Amino acid sequence: MEKSSQVDYLVMGAGVAGLRAAIELARHGEVLVVTKESLGESNTHYAQGGIAVAMEGDADESLHLDDTLKAGDGIVYRPAAEALVAEGPQRVAELMEWGAVFDREGNTGDGALLRTREGAHSLPRILHANGDATGAEISRSLVAFARAHPRIRFAEWTMVSGLVVADGRIIAADVASAAAAAADSTPDRILVRSLLIASGGAGQVYAETTNPAVATGDGIALAAQAGAELADMEFYQFHPTALSLPGVPRFLLSEALRGEGAYLRNESGERFMDRYHPQLELAPRDVVARAIAAEGKAAAISGGPRAVYLDMRHVTGIDLHRRFPGISAFLARHGLDLARDLIPVRPAAHYLMGGIRTDLEGRSNLRGLYAAGEAACTGVHGANRLASNSLLEGLVFGARAARSMLADGLPFVDADTPAAVPIPLSADEEQRVEKLIADLRTAMWDYAGLLRQHSLLLEGLASQQECADGLRKLVREGKGSRRLSEARALSSVAHAILHAALARTESRGAHFRNDFSQRDDEQFRKHSIFNRGGSANKVVFEEW
């Protein structure tokens, strides 16, 4: 990347939230977008199902709001949800003006927008693109529009390695090459008026995840280290239907499949969701995921898992290969066909409802530090995100965060010291880091996954502490590499998840405890706030 001593606004992440913010910020200043790999390699790019948006007026918005509140299991922050559904149509219309193309009726491209239905939605409101490649289309259009702006620069294969805090304000960021061959590169310290973290979630903290390899929670961990509050970290959504084949990545099988009529069947061939929820396969994701775990005996504390299947063999009147081209192509590489076969599935970590605590304008408790998208927590998702609200969240709150960064108008402040130059890790040390990451991910899946309890969470904390201790030695020696940074981020995120999960002694939304299986509104109809100060860790619960 080009060396630079200062830039008005630094955006960490090139997904939907970061790009939408960058476009807004560039109207009034110079913007640097930092992305750890190539443009488009983000959770946004891999989003299949679509974008939920109420485009038919007030009644439609009211229903969308109600569905969002119900899915969030009692703790959705209503003003955030109201902003999401009210501003969503404008943001999506704007996106289409910038070149995003959604699927329409007919073959001419000018028919009515096609809409599908997904879990916990009361009606079809999900727009999709190229069948099952909505995220890729949104990413493509935003990247193209942003690239054409003269005030936006991109730093690909670059990572933010540290934040500089002075008097409770972020004044600079250290950035370095994220390419493996440049592990010993000299970081560049860049002065900023303000910085937006839009670096996505942290699915790689779990051994089983639908997230790409870049989703290691870097931004969340950097914010926490700098003193930012985190919120609702116990609420990690496990997508019910990831492909379950030995040796094959947990490829996401979109909820839109069930929206188009797919059934879930157990090993005996029974359609089982009627035993768990009246909405059957279109129940909220947390319900469906736990039902699959129960039917397949897939909890970590059980024996071996039995198969659970997605079945579309009965679906007629739709060309499944045309409707779901990406999914169909991936399945074909493994000898499977939606129209012909039962597809083996199991839950996998998918989306973090928690993150950096912000207000509705993206402000954190640190001046100069803002967050949007999956890295942030406004309370808009509560305990369980409504399907396909995430892309809309990135558009709405990315724009909001950018406007507040502009309105706050913070000045530059000089940083007294240059960025530290790390010592490269040896090959043996890199292998040790990989082992620590693998052990942590396995422990988080086994002890803090879909089904939790006090004893298991304590086992998870012991494993996380072992990881943290191993990494701390390398850090004290001045060592540094991309994987070491990612390992530290994953360890930090795991630490927050475990503490918040231990503190919430109830079951709500995506957080289910075997030892506290009921919802407790009297004590816990609140949001958890995690603040890591020095060696102390504090979780408190607050009403928003």
Q: Summarize pLDDT for 212-228 with one digit per residue, the tens.
A: 999 999 999 999 999 99
Q: What CA–CA distance (Å, rounded) separates 305 from 324?
A: 28
pLDDT for residue 274: 95
Number of domains in the chain: 2
Q: Based on the fold, state whether residues 339 and 427 are members of the same structural domain.
A: no
Band of residue 381 on the pLDDT scale cut at 50, 70, 90: very high
**Structural domain range at position 256:** 236-350
Q: Is 57 a domain residue?
A: no
117 — pLDDT class (breaks 50, 70, 90): confident
- CA 438 remoteness from chain centre: 20
Q: Which class for 60: exposed (0-12), middle (13-18), buried (19 or more C-beta within 10 A)? A: middle
The three-state DSSP-derived secondary structure of 236-252 is EEEEEEEECCCCCCCCE
- Could you tell me if 338 and 433 lie in one domain? no
* Confidence band for 106, pLDDT divided at 50, 70 and 90: confident
> 533 pLDDT exceeds 70?
no
- pLDDT at 307 (0 to 100): 75
pLDDT (0 to 100) of residue 300: 36
pLDDT beyond 90 at 471: yes
Spatial distance between the Cα atoms of 219 and 199, rounded to a whole number of angstroms: 6
Q: Residue 56: its pLDDT value, please?
A: 87
pLDDT digits (tens, 9 = 90+) for 390-425: 999 999 999 999 999 999 999 999 988 888 889 999
Q: Give the domain CATH number at 499.
A: 1.20.58.100
Question: Same structural domain for residues 432 and 532?
Answer: yes
Residue pLDDT, tens place only, 315-364: 999 999 999 999 999 999 999 999 999 999 999 999 999 999 999 999 99
194 is a domain residue:
no
In this predicted model, which residue has the larger pLDDT, 284 or 183?
284
In this prediction, residue 488 carries a pLDDT of: 97
**Distance between CA atoms of residues 80 and 48, nearest Å:** 24
Please tell me the predicted confidence (pLDDT) of residue 184: 52
Please state, in angstroms and rounded to a whole number, the distance separating the CA atoms of residues 405 and 313.
Answer: 51
Whether residue 406 is contained in a domain is answered as no
All residues at 6 or more sequence positions from 128 whose CB lies less than 8 Å from its CB, including other chains: 49, 50, 51, 102, 103, 114, 116, 134, 256
Residue 324 main-chain phi, psi, to 5 deg:
-125, 65
430 and 345 in a common domain: no
In a domain, 306, yes or no: yes
Q: Give me the pLDDT at residue 419, please.
A: 86
Q: What is the mean pLDDT of the segment spanning 266-288?
A: 91
Examine residue 264 and state whether it is found in any structural domain, yes or no: yes
Could you tell me if 428 and 330 lie in one domain? no
Between residues 219 and 130, which one has the greater pLDDT?
219
Instruction: Please indicate, yes or no, whether residues 334 and 442 belong to a single structural domain of this protein.
Output: no
141 Ramachandran zone, left/alpha/beta (phi>0; psi -120 to 50): alpha
The 10s digit of each residue's pLDDT in 234-249 is 999 999 999 999 889 8
Give the DSSP letter string of 146-215: HHT-TTEEEETTEEEEEEEEETTEEEEEEEEE-SGGGTTPPPEEEEEEEEEE-----GGGSSSBSS-TT-
In a domain, 333, yes or no: yes
Residue 76 has pLDDT above 50, yes or no: yes
What would the mean pLDDT of 467-476 be, rounded to a whole number?
95
**Cβ contact 96:106 at 8 Å:** no
Residues 430 and 536 in one domain: yes
From residue 248, alpha-carbon distances to 49, 54, 182, 189, 222 in Å are 21, 36, 30, 40, 32
Same domain, 427 and 537: yes
Please provide the distance, in angstroms rounded to a whole number, between the alpha carbons at the two ends of the chain: 41
pLDDT over threshold 60, residue 185: yes
In percent, the amount of the chain with pLDDT more than 90 equals: 81
pLDDT score for 263: 97
Mark which of 312, 335, 350 sits at the end of a domain.
Answer: 350
Q: What pLDDT is attached to residue 535?
A: 45
Residues 6+ apart with CB under 8 A from 336: 343
Among residues 334, 350, 366, the one where a domain terminates is: 350
Q: Is the per-residue pLDDT at 285 higher than 60?
A: yes
Least confident span in 259-263, 277-281, 529-533:
529-533
Is there a single domain that holds both residue 242 and residue 345?
Answer: yes
**Is residue 340 located within the same domain as residue 431?**
no
Which pLDDT does position 108 carry in this prediction? 60
Q: Do residue 246 and residue 334 come from a single domain?
A: yes
| Boundary of a domain, candidates 316, 350, 384 | 350
In a domain, 360, yes or no: no
Does 123 map to a domain? Answer: no
Q: Is 340 exposed, middle or buried (0-12, 13-18, 19+ CB in 10 A)?
A: exposed
Strands (E), 287-419: 308-311, 342-352, 355-357, 369-371, 376-377
Same domain (yes/no): 251, 345: yes
State the Cα–Cα distance between residues 471 and 465, nearest whole angstrom: 10
Rounded to 5 degrees, what are φ and ψ at 231? -135, 145
What single string gives the DSSP state of each residue in 486-540?
A: HHHHHHHHHHHHHHHHHH--S-BTTB-BTTB-S--HHHHSSEEEEEEETTEEEEE
CATH of the domain at 316: 3.90.700.10
Q: What is the pLDDT of residue 278?
A: 93
Q: Which residues are catalytic?
A: 285
Per DSSP, the three-state class of 284 is coil
Which DSSP symbol is given to 452? B
